[in-house]
């Protein structure tokens, strides 16, 4: 009830923001991308294909905004900005080209709170939907129905036919009596409209989950009239966005923190934004098949957010990782110890792992990363998840500066200098 009242207020603010800036999306071709995981990669790839096809494209996503070629940062922990902030960005996208495109990453919170009200969506994309944000939405069905709001605002609905939410989404869309969106499906299944058999491609991106993200982008761009061969060329040269399966060591930029002659460079450090059970399972199961040595996984869980997922995250990490290091990840006003214990409760052999030092609790995230990299040996992979591109950490008293990439540099320096 209280949230409904708040949302009426949010709707009023969104209407005023549209009015103030003159409903700026009316002359744009807007592509909205939502889903539990994969939003940023899919949105970034669509934007990249549009740009490499010499079209005027802008993007607003969790890693920032790029408007007419100029980059802007977003407020801390924000994917879809508040209405006035958002409409101001959209106003800036007006270019000199005949057609101007905007790719917008859309969260379930922003849909429920009417932040994207008044935006003229040409295409709405759903990457996947798994149990997440149930502390806010209450049930999985409510969560799905909130995501569907984007499709109801769009002329074309691009759906993942492989996803468990597909049938429910399709059922809800068929209930629409007027202005039903055109449904385009994608997926690894041959029965999908866009599938690997009919739309084969080469890519630097890893894992089946990224194959799905690529197919989603393919579906969008084909429906925007871009030729198949152009799309395939763009996919082949696309690099993962910042903090998505981002191998930061060894690399030219970060190797400066490590003595080239130290003999300690035979391991890998990867940064990823995975922070849900689904994303954990996808990336860890893929890496387990590829990593010759040990997987050392450093992660935590956000405070004042869906606590039910914490034990499942612990269970999945312990299944695929040789060493699990639990640490801080925006605990906010919750106790880090409480969050850690809830994560560990999902690990069956937790007592033995603690005894064998393959399950560590290190509250300070810098210390956790330093310890993980210190113990890394030849062929090992240190995987850091959850913080990724974010530039702050919340311990309950406001945002404090944090940089995962700098933390890795410091840890590499410490490893080298402490022998």
Check if the beta carbon of residue 107 is closer than 8 Å to that of residue 140.
Answer: no
Task: Answer with the one of 237, 269, 302 that is the final residue of a domain.
Answer: 237
Same domain, 192 and 267: no
Q: Residue 139: its pLDDT value, please?
A: 84
Same domain, 283 and 410: yes
Same domain, 205 and 302: no
Element (H, E) at 272: strand 268-272
Task: Answer with the one of 187, 211, 237 that is the final residue of a domain.
Answer: 237
Nearest CA-CA partner of 400 in 331, 338, 340: 331
Q: Residue 136: its pLDDT value, please?
A: 63
Same domain, 143 and 271: no
Same domain, 401 and 258: yes
Nearest CA-CA partner of 325 in 346, 343, 310, 352: 343
Whether this model's pTM surpasses 0.95: no
One digit per residue, the tens of pLDDT, for the chain of length 419 reads 667 788 788 889 999 999 999 999 998 999 999 999 899 999 999 999 999 999 999 999 988 899 988 998 887 666 788 899 899 999 988 766 678 999 999 998 899 899 999 999 999 999 999 866 656 667 888 888 899 999 999 999 999 999 999 999 999 998 888 888 999 999 998 899 999 998 989 999 988 899 999 999 999 999 999 999 999 999 999 999 988 999 999 864 443 343 444 444 589 999 999 999 999 999 999 999 999 999 999 999 999 888 889 999 999 999 999 999 999 999 999 999 999 999 999 999 999 999 999 999 999 999 999 999 999 999 999 999 999 999 999 998 888 999 999 999 999 999 988 75
The CATH number covering residue 216 comes to 3.40.1190.10
Q: Which domain range does residue 43 map to? A: 2-237
Number of domains in the chain: 2
Same domain, 354 and 250: yes
Distance in angstroms (rounded) separating the CA atoms of residues 187 and 323:
33
Same domain, 281 and 233: no
Same domain, 59 and 208: yes
Same domain, 216 and 256: no
User: In the numeric block, which tokens belong to residue 398?
Assistant: 């406001």
Same domain, 343 and 401: yes
Same domain, 100 and 195: yes
Task: Answer with the one of 193, 220, 237 that is the final residue of a domain.
Answer: 237
Q: Residue 266: its pLDDT value, please?
A: 85
The CATH number covering residue 337 comes to 3.90.190.20
Same domain, 149 and 253: no
Q: Is 170 left (phi over 0), alpha (psi -120 to 50) or beta?
A: alpha
Cis check: omega of the bond before 250, within 30 degrees of 0: yes
Where do the H-state alpha helices sit in 275-383? 277-290, 310-320, 336-344, 350-355, 365-375
């Amino acid at each position: 009830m209280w949230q409904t009242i708040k949302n009426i207020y949010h709707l009023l603010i969104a209407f005023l923001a549209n009015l103030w800036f003159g409903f700026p999306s009316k002359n744009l071709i807007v592509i909205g991308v939502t889903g539990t995981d994969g939003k940023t990669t899919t949105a970034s790839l669509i934007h990249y294909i549009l740009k490499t096809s010499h079209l005027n494209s802008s993007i607003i996503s969790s890693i920032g905004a790029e408007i007419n070629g100029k980059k802007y940062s977003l407020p801390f922990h924000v994917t879809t900005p508040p209405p006035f902030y958002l409409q101001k960005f959209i106003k800036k996208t007006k270019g000199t080209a005949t057609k101007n495109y905007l790719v917008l990453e859309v969260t379930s919170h922003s849909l429920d709170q009417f932040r994207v009200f008044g935006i003229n969506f040409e295409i709405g994309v759903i990457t996947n939907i798994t149990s997440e944000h149930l502390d806010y939405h209450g049930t999985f069905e409510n969560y799905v129905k909130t995501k569907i709001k984007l499709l109801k605002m769009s002329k074309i609905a691009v759906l993942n036919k492989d996803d468990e939410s597909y049938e429910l989404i399709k059922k809800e869309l068929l209930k629409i009596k007027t202005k039903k969106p055109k449904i385009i499906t994608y997926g690894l299944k041959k029965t999908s409209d866009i599938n690997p058999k009919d739309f084969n491609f080469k890519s630097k991106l890893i894992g089946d989950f990224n194959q799905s993200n690529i197919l989603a982008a393919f579906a969008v761009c084909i429906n925007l009239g871009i030729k198949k061969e152009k799309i395939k060329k763009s996919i082949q040269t696309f690099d993962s966005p910042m903090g998505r399966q981002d191998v930061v060591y060894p690399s030219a930029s970060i190797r400066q923190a490590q003595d080239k002659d130290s003999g300690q460079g035979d391991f890998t450090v990867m940064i990823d934004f995975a922070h849900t059970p689904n994303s954990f399972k996808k990336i860890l199961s893929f890496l387990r098949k590829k990593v010759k040595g040990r997987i050392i996984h450093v992660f935590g869980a956000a405070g004042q957010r869906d606590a039910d997922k914490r034990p499942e995250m612990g269970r999945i990490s312990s299944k695929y990782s040789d060493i699990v290091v639990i640490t801080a990840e925006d605990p906010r006003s919750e106790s880090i110890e409480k969050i850690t214990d809830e994560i560990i409760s999902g690990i069956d052999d937790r007592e033995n792992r603690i005894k064998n030092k393959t399950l560590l609790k290190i509250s300070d995230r810098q210390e956790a990363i330093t310890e993980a990299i210190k113990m890394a040996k030849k062929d090992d992979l240190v995987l850091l998840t959850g913080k990724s591109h974010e530039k702050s950490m919340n311990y309950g008293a406001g945002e404090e500066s944090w940089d995962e990439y700098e933390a890795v540099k410091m840890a590499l320096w410490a490893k080298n200098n402490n022998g």
